[in-house]
Structure 1
Amino acid sequence: MSAALDTAVAALMKRAVETAILPRYQQLAADQVTAKAVDDMVTIADTDAERILAEGLAAILPEATIVGEEAAHADPAVLERLGDSLCWIIDPLDGTNNFAAGKPPFGVLVALAEHGVAVGGWIYDALTGRVCSAHKGKGAFLNGEALVSRTTGQEPPVAAISLVFADPVRRAALQQHIAPHYTLVDIPRCAAEQYPRIVTGINDVSIFERTLAWDHAAGVLFVNEAGGKAARPDGSAYRVDRHLEPGLVAAASPALFDTLAERLARL
């Protein structure tokens, strides 16, 4: 079932990218971009890709409900489905700000959850066609090959820390008490890129403040199934039906997670 599901979901993601996203890359007109909130936008590529994905995923597993980022923005009541017995979660264009600016990275995220827990995750890089996938208890895969998380091996470890959604006090605390222990690198503003970086030896750890299901469900599962650790800072599991709670840490190894979590607990 897992292999067949991977093939079907990856093919659908590729179709959405090639049909709705790439033809608009660096071709967007001003009226095809709309601000949803401060530092958050939606494009015609987002909405068209979500439609394609929602229709296709409904055909793959008709018994699953669907929560798409743009559908939830239009009607917050959609979020109540995140705890359903079976639920598809869609980020039709992750990294929209990058895409709208005509630069990489950007991709597509899809997850499948059971009763609020992600059991399947797929991450598609729009420009390279890279596919990351994971199934709960069955491992993580990169382009179909089994993947085991590896660290950068650098000291201090490499950290990508998202401060965009941190309040000023927390931002200052992170900069003062956490940042000095790591080699800091820019965040890609794209979870579809950030999570693969954590397990492929590019980054060691990452801190996220906002933890929306469509941004993190697939990536958290991918990191954990690869042998890294992604969880709430207190070590509790990330649940998609509690995605409005702040704070998430992802690390290339459990040891790196524990060290960072201990530092965060002292803030």
Structure 2
Amino acid sequence: AGDAKPRVQASSDALAHLDDRGTTTDRVAEPMPDLDDLSAFRDLAVQVARAAGRMIREAHAQRAGGGDGGELSVAVESKGSEQGAPAAEASVDLVTATDKACEELIIGTIRERFPKHCFIGEESTFAGGGAADAPLELGEQPTWIIDPLDGTTNFVHGYWPVTVSIGLAVRGELVLGVIFNPLLDEMCVATKGGGATLNGRPIRVGGAAGVGEALVVNNLGASRNPAMNTLATARIGALLQASLRGLRNSGSAAQNMIDVAAGRLDAYFEDGFGGPWDVAAGYVIVHEAGGVFRDHLGGPFTLRAGKGQVLCGNAAVVEDIARVLRSVEPGGGQARG
């Protein structure tokens, strides 16, 4: 079957917090921009991604050099479970002052230019109590979906897979993706129908025909639930038994999607990525690079308000990886949708 677009429907309000249904609160609409006008949105997204990237790079350099402010910038707060929480609820999700400062910069800059646009940001959403486990409903208003610093744990440890991820939906459809790795100075950009580029050069997904030819990346996510740990290791074991060529784990969903879109990795899968901000930009980028986006078992991809599942790459390798993952799925692992 062909790749389906994510089920996304309604939204609004500047710096919106998701409510318990995964929606945002409507406000007075402004005239809709033509999709042909995406260049202005694209240029602004690139501008703010670079600005946030400078903040990340400076904090990274200060930390590495022991300069003033470096330790403060990577001081860790947890969005995960409290110490001593039940094992089934255990998680290790982190946030730093740099995450928050970058999100404020990105949203503030875009809002100044487009004051009636809507915003879904990782840190503001968690500050508002998190998001429900439901499909994300996006409305007519342009809605920016932002991860200001994807790969926070990497950032805390000084590891390079750290990205700024900015997606845009117009009329309920994802149409723009910008991902920037400031430590590698790599800017990946895509608009619907306009192709995908990495530092200005067109990119294309790899050509692996199946598991045996594939270099695959899997993030294990923040959950430390024992049952989830067991299932995650069973999936990896099944892929290895199927003669997977290679396996990587980067800790950044957005970096994974740059690498898949550029053909450096053949596929990325994850069960439990943090929220829509992790994948909104990458969805557009992978599609425009010739790839498909599915859930981890090969069913239709749904952009969710909370944690979600993804498997992306070229159509053939995605189908074969999904086949292997379904073989160890509890209850027989039927593809959804």
Supply the distance in 2 between the matched residues of 1:136 and 1:222 (Cα, whole angstroms).
Answer: 9
Cα deviation for residue 30 of structure 1 reads 8.3
Cα deviation for residue 17 of structure 1 reads 2.0
Supply the distance in 2 between the matched residues of 1:168 and 1:78 (Cα, whole angstroms).
Answer: 23
Supply the distance in 2 between the matched residues of 1:171 and 1:64 (Cα, whole angstroms).
Answer: 38
Residue 36 of structure 1 is matched in structure 2 by 79
**1:94 matches 2:150:** yes
Choose from 45, 50, 61 the match for 2:114: 61
Structure 2 vs 1, CA of residues 40 and 62 (structure 1 numbering), >3 Å: closer, same or farther? Answer: same
Supply the distance in 2 between the matched residues of 1:33 and 1:152 (Cα, whole angstroms).
Answer: 39
Say how many residue pairs are matched: 263
Counterpart secondary structure, 2:101:
helix
**1:8 matches 2:53:** no
Counterpart secondary structure, 2:280:
helix
Q: What is the Cα-based RMSD across aligned positions, in Å?
A: 2.5
**1:167 matches 2:228:** yes
Give 1:23's aligned amino acid: E
Counterpart secondary structure, 1:210:
strand
1:36-80 deviations in Å (ceiling 9; x for gaps):
213221111111111000011213333321111110001037779
Which deviates more from structure 2 when the two are superposed, residues 62-71 or residues 197-206?
A: 197-206
In the alignment, structure 1 segments of 5+ residues that lack a partner are none
Q: Is the 8 A contact 1:152 1:203 kept in 2?
A: no
* Residue correspondence of structure 1 range 71-82 to structure 2 within 5 A: 71-76=124-129
Supply the distance in 2 between the matched residues of 1:124 and 1:73 (Cα, whole angstroms).
Answer: 22
Supply the distance in 1 between the matched residues of 2:203 and 2:93 (Cα, whole angstroms).
Answer: 32
* Residue correspondence of structure 1 range 229-244 to structure 2 within 5 A: 229-232=292-295, 233-239=297-303, 242-244=304-306
Choose from 75, 84, 90 the match for 2:139: 84
Which deviates more from structure 2 when the two are superposed, residues 169-178 or residues 83-92?
A: 169-178
1:85-122 deviations in Å (ceiling 9; x for gaps):
22111111111111111221211000112355321111
Structure 2 vs 1, CA of residues 107 and 176 (structure 1 numbering), >3 Å: closer, same or farther? Answer: closer
TM-score (norm 2): 0.71
Counterpart secondary structure, 1:188:
coil
Choose from 271, 276, 287 the match for 1:224: 287
Residue 265 of structure 2 is matched in structure 1 by 203
Give 1:226's aligned amino acid: A
Give 1:208's aligned amino acid: E
Residue 256 of structure 1 is matched in structure 2 by 317
Which of the two has greater strand per residue?
A: 1
Q: Is the 8 A contact 2:103 2:147 kept in 1?
A: yes
Supply the distance in 2 between the matched residues of 1:3 and 1:41 (Cα, whole angstroms).
Answer: 34
In the alignment, structure 2 segments of 5+ residues that lack a partner are 1-36, 64-69, 81-90, 329-337
TM-score (norm 1): 0.87
Give 1:254's aligned amino acid: A
1:13-36 deviations in Å (ceiling 9; x for gaps):
111222x32221122238832122
Which deviates more from structure 2 when the two are superposed, residues 95-104 or residues 146-155?
A: 146-155
Supply the distance in 1 between the matched residues of 2:308 and 2:51 (Cα, whole angstroms).
Answer: 33
Q: Is the 8 A contact 2:59 2:73 kept in 1?
A: no
Give 1:184's aligned amino acid: G
Give 2:203's aligned amino acid: L
Cα deviation for residue 179 of structure 1 reads 3.0
Q: Is the 8 A contact 1:161 1:184 kept in 2?
A: no
**1:46 matches 2:81:** no
Counterpart secondary structure, 2:300:
coil
